[in-house]
Structure 1
């Protein structure tokens, strides 16, 4: 006697499946459409700057936007800086001035960002691992004290720094800007790195101490490699802020330590503002930050995601 097994047919509700698929595709299209629109809005100022650097005066005033359609591109803006193909091989005073300001920006921004990350990481590690007490202030009060330094507008500090730097002989020097920029971005670095270190389990350090390492040994060999993405993210943020800083650079420098933002703001003449020169100079100033962002993108993403899941 044989027993036959009859499998029940599996029925699908095709209408419900189609409705779910349509809802999924509608949501996807809406999300990606919003992201594309926001990307275009964010990238449009950069596109405007790049196209303006290749325009003549009438094209700038009439608001032409599309090269080879609204206007014929020209090297006028880059030629005024000695950066066009026909002038790049020859000696150029504007290009030498540009390179001088460019190197000032590179040295000042890189040095101040590296110094801020080094000092800020040490301060953040201490605030996340040890308990401090100074007068009525505890760890949370000390952290807020660092953050409160960003509340003051820069113009309030203009006169004190001008008098102090004049007395110390730091006016129009790179070291003066490096010290000031380090103090400017240090609170941001401390807050970023404090959250980074707080997301690292303390058991790792305890195990390292059991193995015979000192506090410094555990910090350098265990904690720093784990917190490296956050440090890179803090470094890039500091680099962007110091690279684009204008107020103190214009106030505390005159001829030797001027940076690119000061040079961009000085593109004026008897006829008014040279928009094409300003746009060309701005494009040349933006390019290094774009390259840094592309090269260190994976560290930025890791630094932003670190601490999200503990």
Structure 2
């Protein structure tokens, strides 16, 4: 009996089929993960347009499970019918939003500048402080994140009272700068280590100083990493609640404190909290979308050398 002839294209077709199945599985997992990541934002947005019964019943789809209303935004004075009228709550919201913007941007900018300088020094020069070398110094900066914030609550409270920094934006800016500085140093150290030292040597040969080589050659290359560090610092400082609630009371309160204040003896005003939360995360979403390419470049820099 003659053996059946084998089709030469069968291995190739089987390989293409398995490759297509693998890509399909990867895309399905990515779609599922995207839905999981975006669902909290979707829930926040839809909750801001729900009435109290809709929130308690867990209604999900607008115009299907419930009819959207402006209850959450009306409570903030930001609904279409209240936006033109005077609103104490809206004024308070705008003040908190301004405080969050000033403190987050200022502290993140200062941390990026100081952290970049420190990281550049750690990546290009050798230091010795007793038994500590560059790696030990870098780990010392990172170890500052090990302490839980509650451990630092009493020392900062006493210190800020003595320095008259309680309930001031400058006090929050200084504290937030110290909070995110270790993260910036570690991100920028890896960024600078991925840049060849030959570029600086060539710049020095051309007559530039160390600072000239840093600003004209190294800094433009490291800019994506700096933007990534700035965005990460901005997210952390914008969302910080503990120290903002502890060290501020009237003048320097930020948005996270206002969001948490929506709980009361009668329960939680989910619609107001959702509207406030969406208004708080919207600027970060816009910044993330606009600076996405810089964020990806900065976070992946140094992965392949």
Aligned with 1:250 (options 239, 245, 249): 245
In structure 2, the gaps of 5 or more residues are 1-5
Q: Distance in 2 between matches of 1:70 and 1:195?
A: 50
Q: Distance in 1 between matches of 2:208 and 2:129?
A: 29
What are the superposed Cα offsets for residues 219-277 of structure 1, whole Å, 9 maximum, x if unpaired? Answer: 01100000000000000000000000000000000010000000000013442110000
The equivalent residue for 1:76 is 71
Displacement after TM superposition at 1:51 (Å): 0.7
The equivalent residue for 1:232 is 227
Q: Distance in 1 between matches of 2:200 and 2:13?
A: 54
The equivalent residue for 1:172 is 167
The equivalent residue for 1:305 is 300
Aligned with 1:186 (options 173, 181, 189): 181
Q: Distance in 2 between matches of 1:288 and 1:12?
A: 59
Q: Distance in 1 between matches of 2:167 and 2:55?
A: 35
Alignment of 1:146-161 (within 5 A): 146-161=141-156
The equivalent residue for 2:112 is 117
What are the superposed Cα offsets for residues 98-141 of structure 1, whole Å, 9 maximum, x if unpaired? Answer: 00000000000000000000000000000000000111111011
What is the number of residues matched between the two proteins? 300
Displacement after TM superposition at 1:157 (Å): 0.1
Displacement after TM superposition at 1:208 (Å): 0.7
The alignment's TM-score, normalised by the length of structure 1, stands at: 0.95
Q: Does 1:260 align with 2:270?
A: no
The alignment's TM-score, normalised by the length of structure 2, stands at: 0.97
Name which one, 1 or 2, has greater alpha-carbon Rg.
1
What are the superposed Cα offsets for residues 34-79 of structure 1, whole Å, 9 maximum, x if unpaired? Answer: 0111111111111111111000000000100000000000000000
The equivalent residue for 1:202 is 197
The equivalent residue for 2:140 is 145
The equivalent residue for 2:3 is none
The equivalent residue for 2:290 is 295
The equivalent residue for 1:5 is none
Q: Distance in 2 between matches of 1:163 and 1:235?
A: 30
The equivalent residue for 1:106 is 101
SS at match of 1:74: coil
The equivalent residue for 1:3 is none
The equivalent residue for 1:61 is 56
Displacement after TM superposition at 1:12 (Å): 7.0
Q: Distance in 2 between matches of 1:122 and 1:17?
A: 55
The equivalent residue for 1:4 is none
**Over aligned residues, Cα RMSD in angstroms?**
1.0
In structure 1, the gaps of 5 or more residues are 1-10
